[in-house]
Chains A and B, each alone.
Chain A
């Protein structure tokens, strides 16, 4: 697959989802959540990403458990993202470092496992459309990010992330900040888009950026110069 562009999701047919987890009970649970949404169809499941993708090469979104057989699979995540796969990571590891590392590796979205029921469907739908979806746990990780190469967020973006993380209710954030819910989502999403410039380049990040510009969420001049941290050892597509 051309790593520069992601296969577009065809309108009219459901979004194909592949689930990779080493716990069958979790797979069943996620499948049950997704079954409530007719626009989604689970194409394959399993505990090996390669096998699952062989079974469902056309999957639009991969839901990936970050820990497979006792190992954190950030490397596999990076490989899939670079290859243009939209990966939504979900994990019981909701510490900020892990979440930010998953974003750096190219995950389209990160869900803490306890956030699954509420946010899973919306996250997958947004991921299929190359739109950001920031669940509260990830918002907390972004607002608490103290790494030297973190993106510069505006005060409003930080405040929206903080309040979203605290309350888990966009309506409350909107009232608190005296703005509309739509604007709250814009602030949160803009912050997320700024993170697509951090870490190694990935096709998924480029797709997120491109869609954000197309949607008018962010202007090209706000993006700045893309500088890869792995420019020397990363194959150019």
Chain B
């Protein structure tokens, strides 16, 4: 609680090397948030690309290959290539949708090999026919295989694809102007759309990463500022409590208005010391803060020469500091007055805590009149003196 906000929590939960400065913490947090946003926004694009590639392959490539089977030079190779790409595409799609990194280089090599094989096996008659499915369909698989890789890799692969196509055109002897024009159109037409989708996806990813990182940084800064302000408020509150506890009597002593020999002043000093001790005990990180705070009060009373017995039965449930203050404050006030002996008892169960202080009833009126017997809703406070004992009890009910 007392540690600087923002640093300790991170240190306990992160597995990555622990950032040491708030700026680094912020940057790391922002980076992580951005990565999460990117993963989510990129998922849609990935689904789209995998779907386009497979649908194209099935709905356009397959019927064309089957229809023109008899006209192909080596139909087994063309169909085999089609099957291989279908399997690779399916696997790559599953991988991609599971956020796993694809082995891009082997995939690219395999796809290029299929490219060459199909061009070689398709034969002259179907070179420009729909049965030569690699013209249009293969580029989409390049996009799937290289998703989230640098755009230049895709351009390199498309260039290799174009070279293969043009080499095949030349080797088949289809070097007439019309054929070259068809080849160029086919290459341009089938490459431009995948390239655009790929580049668009990469740009969108970069944009969303930037935006998410900015938003996360802003949020972190706002949270840091709020935590800092909360810590400042807490500190001021505690300072006010301390001033209320000891400030007045110390000021009077310093100004000579209070006489240290006056029992009344001594009593106020004892009370102030007890409250300060309680405030210090409050911020300790211990398993049972209420018992710890009462022990601190008993300790101080004992050091002031008062034999005090502290008996605890049961374990108090975790209580907010306000409830603990309401439970202990009235007893600490009476304890400052106590002479001869005191008995402090705590009986706790999961839904009730009763704290009581019994001290001998010295003759004379109450120092400040009888303290009010009241409750602030959750904690009930009772006080009684009968000439023999003074009895103060606070009781908390769930």
Contact = CB atoms under 8 A, between A and B. Distances in A.
B347 A165 contact: yes
A167 B389 contact: yes
A210 interface: no
Interface in B303-319: 311, 313-314
Given A172-B389, A172-B391, A143 B313 contact: yes
Contacts of B389: 167, 169, 172
B391 A140 contact: no
Interface stretch (B12-20, B109-117, B277-285, B348-356): B348-356
Nearest to A142: B313
Interface string A154-195: 000000001001111101100110000000000000000000
B345 interface: yes
B343 A166 contact: yes
Contacts of A171: 386, 388
B311 A172 contact: no
A165 B344 CA distance: 10
A88 B312 CA distance: 24
- Which applies to chain A's interface (DSSP): helix, strand, loop or mixed? helix
A36 interface: no
Interface string B334-363: 000000000101011100001010100000
Given A175-B384, A176-B391, A140 B356 contact: no
A236 interface: no
A70 B75 CA distance: 97
Nearest to A159: B354
Contact of A140 (B313, B358, B388): B313
A167 B341 CA distance: 12
A144 B388 contact: no
A166 B345 contact: yes
Contacts of A175: 384, 386
Contact of A167 (B311, B348, B358): B358
A165 B391 CA distance: 12
B191 interface: no
B130 to A, nearest CB: 81
Interface in B285-337: 311, 313-314
B384 A176 contact: yes
Contacts of A144: 313-314, 347-349
Contacts of A172: 384, 386, 388-389, 391
Given A166-B356, A166-B358, A167-B391, A140 B345 contact: yes
A139 to B, nearest CB: 10
Given A166-B345, A168-B343, A96 B313 contact: yes
> How big is chain B's contact interface, by range?
10 to 19
Interface in B116-147: none
A165 B345 contact: yes
B217 interface: no
Interface string B264-279: 0000000000000000
Nearest to A95: B313
A163 B250 CA distance: 38
Nearest to A169: B389
B393 interface: yes
B347 A143 contact: yes
A176 B386 CA distance: 10
> How big is chain A's contact interface, by range?
10 to 19
Interface in A128-161: 137, 140-141, 143-144, 146
Contacts of B347: 140, 143-144, 162, 165
A197 B343 CA distance: 32
Contacts of A162: 347, 354
B391 to A, nearest CB: 6
A169 B358 CA distance: 10
Contact of A168 (B313, B349, B354, B358): B358
Interface in A93-147: 96, 137, 140-141, 143-144, 146
Contacts of A167: 343, 356, 358, 389, 391
A175 B311 CA distance: 23
A144 B354 CA distance: 11
A166 B388 CA distance: 14
A141 B358 CA distance: 18
A176 B347 CA distance: 18
A85 B219 CA distance: 75
Question: Which of A96, A140, A141 is packed against the most chain B CB atoms within 10 Å?
Answer: A140
A143 B356 CA distance: 14
A146 to B, nearest CB: 6
Nearest to B393: A166
Nearest to B309: A114
A169 B314 CA distance: 22
A118 to B, nearest CB: 13
A226 B365 CA distance: 53
Contacts of B343: 166-168
Interface in B361-398: 382, 384, 386, 388-389, 391, 393
A165 B311 CA distance: 10
Nearest to B313: A144
A153 to B, nearest CB: 13
B86 to A, nearest CB: 66
Closest 4 CB pairs of A and B: A144-B313, A166-B356, A144-B314, A140-B313
Given A140-B347, A143-B347, A175-B386, 9 more contacts: A140-B311, A165-B311, A165-B313, A166-B343, A166-B354, A166-B358, A167-B358, A169-B389, A172-B389
8 contacts: A140-B347, A141-B313, A162-B354, A167-B343, A169-B389, A171-B386, A172-B384, A176-B382
Interface of A: 96, 137, 140-141, 143-144, 146, 162, 165-169, 171-172, 175-176
